[in-house]
Chain A
């Protein structure tokens, strides 16, 4: 299977607080997990990715954690800012290849 599910669908946070988005996947062969940020009317932008040989990766205020046993991975945004408001998509590669299966997206709203 290649189902990728994200939750919650919408997340509102106060500016400065942290936001966490979780994704689950079903394909045991998946070994690459990117996160994309999409602002309204714009292209999806890759913000961070992780491979299955790593449990956590951090880039400034953004981090991703992976639990291969439980088949879930999470995006963590710390010290949120209004410009973090966007839709965030997680994905997993299908069959361990290049094709990606995407989740339906999470709307993150940072309240000033």
Chain B
């Protein structure tokens, strides 16, 4: 596809359930980022993948959050034992490569609501 694709677009689940969010980056982009945006707030960095290097997980808020990127393309963000404070829009972005200052292009996000 032409842009970053995320699925599902909306997810409603009960507190305590696990959820998986998917991101398909722009073809050829080696860097992939996950952010979280709470209502009316800025973007909070979660995790960053660059090629085959170890991911930068420094933004993950707790050990309930994890992410994988298989085959250097699609990424999955998993939230275990969801809490109400996890409700937010989860945004994925990708960029061309490892050179610092590569423009990041965002997907439409997954709106996660925890009941």
Contacts and interface: CB of A to CB of B under 8 A. Distances in A.
The SS class assigned to the B binding surface is strand
The SS class assigned to the A binding surface is strand
B75 interface: no
Nearest to B35: A102
B62 to A, nearest CB: 19
A31 B101 contact: yes
A104 B41 contact: yes
Nearest to A45: B106
A62 interface: no
On chain B, which size bracket covers the interface? Answer: 20 to 34
Interface residues of A, number: 24
Contacts of B98: 98
A32 B100 contact: yes
Contact of A43 (B41, B103, B109): B109
A70 B103 CA distance: 24
Interface string B47-65: 0101000001000000000
A101 B100 CA distance: 14
Interface of B: 31, 33, 35, 41-45, 48, 50, 56, 91, 95, 98, 100-109
